[in-house]
Structure 1
Amino acid sequence: MTVAAAVALWHRAHLYKALACVVLTLIAIQYLLSGVLDRRSIETIFTINATRYATNNYRNHPRGLIIYGPATVASLPGNASVWPTSALSEIAIPSKSDTIPTGTSGGSAVGVPNQDASTPNTTDTTIQQRCPLIPPNLVGPVAVSLSPTEKKFTEVKPGGRGFPSNCIARHRVAIIIPYRDRPNHLQALLQTLHPILLRQQIDYQIFIIEQEGTGLFNRAMLMNVGYVEALKERTFDCFIFHDVDLLPEDDRNLYTCPEQPRHMSVAVDKFKYRLPYADLFGGVSAMTREHFRLVNGFSNVFWGWGGEDDDMANRIKARGLHISRYPANVARYKMLSHKKEKANPKRYEFLKTGKKRFTTDGLSNLKYQLVDKQKPKLYTWLLVRLTPPQPS
């Protein structure tokens, strides 16, 4: 062997060693980051910024789920065929921190809720797993039945509370439904919603906030009341504000805690499963406890139909947040037919001047009287008398 050949061989050997060191370093970094990925909610796994839906491509070709983290198709729980094609490429893998001694505090941060005494199998001597990032029993599109049926829902506790029995839920969620005089819609929604929420393995409770009397309906104010009253029950991580006439059509539309305020009813059959406009935040939406407090809740001045959701979208942007969404092929809803509400003639005026009231109009000036409260099997019912806010 010549001297030149020996030198070349020596350099090649050191190059291989350097490459091996780089690979080992990357593996170590990936292992360390796995814990960080695990602490993020499922919103990190597939969330889409609202601005992506403002393009023409959205209307014609909705994107599939956006997935972050290392994985293979084999790591998809349950039936992988129910997930959109783009979800099969990679998925976040839970870390060893998913094993939690039950009976201890998991923290009150979003995605790592505390479990209270009513959660099953929580003894100090038992080691229980947190529920998977992606629930294993999801089926994808679900059949929506409008015919009243008797379902016992044995897993649901009085007051409309459900939680997984074999793992610790990652999210504590209050479902807030503003309501008045729509019993058939409510029955259809409860029959559709409970099975989906149970499969999603969240710790949830459904609150029906009914407005007393026959005056103009104030949906936004009822949702503020729902937020306040739900927190009197226990500490929820996030809140889903849900119209009673919208039935979810896909259980992959997770009712979990979002990293950014999430508009959930992206694709409604009435609108041909297309998003009417980019800043839409009506129908069904999700916000964390901290975000809702940051924006001072909904405005209380919108009596009658329309305007309060657009005002909330403005509040979200004013606080440096943005609206996130799941893909249109997942965030699908059926709208039940109903008589159209009387429109608020001042809604555009209130929207124009809303920025001046963000800090003074909302949770900060909410006034109401709790007339009655009951806990039947499938929901917690509150009858409230609203007090119009005084002009500032």
Structure 2
Amino acid sequence: MAKTVNLATINWLFVCGLAFCLGGVVVLNLMPLSADCICPLKKSGFQNSEALQSVTQPPFDMPEHKLAILVPFRDRFEELLQFVPNITRFLQKQRVVHHIFVLNQVDRYRFNRASLINVGFRFTRDVYDYIAMHDVDLLPLNEDLHYEYPSDLGPLHIAAPELHPKYHYETFVGGILLVRREHFEEMNGMSNKYWGWGLEDDEFYVRIRDAGLQVTRPHNIKTGINNTFNHIHNRYHRKRDTQKCFNQKEVTRKRDRETGLSTLEYKISKIHQLSIDGITITVLNILLECNLNNTPWCDCSGIAAAAAAEEPIK
């Protein structure tokens, strides 16, 4: 009897110890990664990435395409709280395999939407075969707007000019634009010269055209500019950074043939897994680099230039 009790006790301790170790692994996987661990997602490590998507993707086998929702972000947390559950429900109904990546700019420079999208693309391109360049304040309402894999012709513009609440010119490609991985690489991504608000999507339209690609848009949509999207941006609470300084206005009206994915300079300081209403998203804390000689308008206040001048020579 004594031997039986001892054996049972040993087995019980072994099971408890194993459970404790497995629990530790789960906790560690949910902790933010240090800067030393940061690297782009890889296909070989996609198992962990898929686990993070368990809430956001429907249960079907071997999806043909995977969509990375890239959300350029700074100080819009209340909008993010609305965006995540809304877009998740919307895409679940369409059975779109996806994951949300919040591209959180944490450096001292002005907001750079295009460069953040370039960072998000670099981080996700080995796992996801198309991206959605998605504003956090634009929520689709019409279920006939399909976030499908774009055709060979070129990007799919969900927020078409005849549907967007605010922008109605023909070459507009902002708001929500879906781009295949190979097309984004072919265009060398987006320009890195657009600090502050506006015009980066207009420059990207010219890149699309120069690459011989075409913008396609949803067909047979019965709603219009007032009821296709919910535009949750409050322009009085969140003012646009429309300031122009140095020669910014002149330079940013031209096609940029110098910068893009190949010239992007940045650091990802932290990667967080954040849960909103039970939906897990990935937040990248991004530090963009600015060449003050090429784009001094990344800081119209002059603080960055003064700080750079005071740095010791290495």
- TM > 0.5 fold call: yes
Q: What are the superposed Cα offsets for residues 118-149 of structure 1, whole Å, 9 maximum, x if unpaired?
A: 59xxxxxxxxxxxxxxxxxxxxxxxxxxxxxx
1:211 to 94, 102, 105: 105
Q: Does 1:384 align with 2:279?
A: no
Q: Does 1:371 align with 2:269?
A: yes
Q: Give the deviation of 1:269 after TM superposition.
A: 6.1
The one-letter amino acid paired with 1:302 is: Y
Runs ≥4 residues deviating over 4 A: 114-119
The one-letter amino acid paired with 2:268 is: L
Equivalent in the alignment of 1:361: 259
The structure showing larger relative contact order (alpha-carbon pairs under 8 Å, at least 6 residues apart) is 2
Q: 1:196 to 1:265 in 2, by over 3 A?
A: same
Q: Distance in 1 between matches of 2:248 and 2:155?
A: 22
Q: What are the superposed Cα offsets for residues 159-196 of structure 1, whole Å, 9 maximum, x if unpaired?
A: 67633313442321100000011111101011111111
Is the CA contact 2:53–2:98 (under 8 Å) kept in the aligned structure 1?
A: no
Q: 1:177 to 1:330 in 2, by over 3 A?
A: farther
Q: Give the deviation of 1:252 after TM superposition.
A: 2.4
Q: Does 1:297 align with 2:226?
A: no
Equivalent in the alignment of 2:93: 199
Q: Does 1:308 align with 2:200?
A: yes
Identity %: 29
State the structure with more CA Rg.
Answer: 1
Equivalent in the alignment of 1:163: 57
Is the CA contact 2:71–2:134 (under 8 Å) kept in the aligned structure 1?
A: yes
Q: Give the deviation of 1:329 after TM superposition.
A: 3.2
Equivalent in the alignment of 1:341: 240
Equivalent in the alignment of 2:115: 221
Q: Distance in 2 between matches of 1:181 and 1:241?
A: 18
**Alignment map for 1:171-186 (pairs within 5 Å):** 171-186=65-80
Let me know the Cα RMSD of the aligned residues.
Answer: 2.7
Q: Distance in 1 between matches of 2:181 and 2:69?
A: 12
The one-letter amino acid paired with 1:223 is: I
The count of corresponding residues between Structure 1 and Structure 2 is: 235
Structure 2 counterpart SS, 1:317: helix
Q: TM-score, normalised by structure 2?
A: 0.68
**Alignment map for 1:313-324 (pairs within 5 Å):** 313-324=205-216
Q: Give the deviation of 1:226 after TM superposition.
A: 0.5
Q: 1:116 to 1:373 in 2, by over 3 A?
A: closer
Equivalent in the alignment of 2:33: none
Q: Does 1:250 align with 2:152?
A: no
Q: Distance in 1 between matches of 2:260 and 2:54?
A: 27
Q: Distance in 2 between matches of 1:169 and 1:226?
A: 21
Q: What are the superposed Cα offsets for residues 276-325 of structure 1, whole Å, 9 maximum, x if unpaired?
A: 11100111101000010011111001000111000000000011111110
Equivalent in the alignment of 1:270: 165
Runs of at least 5 residues in structure 2 that lack an aligned partner in the other structure: 1-42, 296-314
Q: TM-score, normalised by structure 1?
A: 0.55
Q: Distance in 2 between matches of 1:228 and 1:181?
A: 23
Q: Distance in 1 between matches of 2:98 and 2:106?
A: 25
Structure 1 counterpart SS, 2:206: helix
Q: 1:183 to 1:160 in 2, by over 3 A?
A: farther
